Amino acid sequence: MGWWKRSKKIDEKLLVNPVTVKTELEQFLADDKTTYEALRRTMFLDPRKPESSSKDIADKAKKAEKNPIVAGQLYDIAGSLAIYEGDAEKVAEYFGKCEKLLPQKSYPILKNPEKAVAKAQEYYQKYLKT
């Protein structure tokens, strides 16, 4: 049997039995899929020592609103920092603005930002020992 046939068999085994690795966030929220979906694309997993606050980034986004793509990306970053800061009101505000500027994106976190921020804070307490 040539090297090609052996490598093909190995590849076929990997396709049949794919390995899935869950992130700490996915494990942490295993019993709450809704909150996991709300946080998985919006939460910084390790935002320690940010160079700017959510307010600073939101101010830059407001100035950039003539360009909806840039402003939307900045509001997205501001929302993620607001999650870390524990400010559910700002999370809703920033991601709401982002969703208006970039209608092709949806933010499940807007359905229940208070719960998502509370769970994110629990995650940070458990995994980010500073």
Mean pLDDT of the chain: 87
Q: What pLDDT shows up at residue 45? A: 80
> Count of domains in the chain?
1
pTM: 0.79
pLDDT score for 81: 96
Tell me what percent of the residues of the chain surpass a pLDDT of 90. Answer: 66
Q: How many helices (H) and strands (E) does the chain have?
A: 7, 0
Residues spanned by the domain of 62: 24-127
The verdict on residue 18 lying in a domain is no
117 pLDDT band, cuts 50/70/90, is very high
Domain membership flag for residue 104: yes
Residue 6 resides in a domain: no
Which tens digits make up the pLDDT trace of 57-109?
Answer: 999 999 999 999 999 999 999 999 999 999 999 999 999 999 999 999 999 99
Question: Does 53 map to a domain?
Answer: yes
- Mean pLDDT over 3-31 rounds to 69
**Domain assignment present for 19:** no
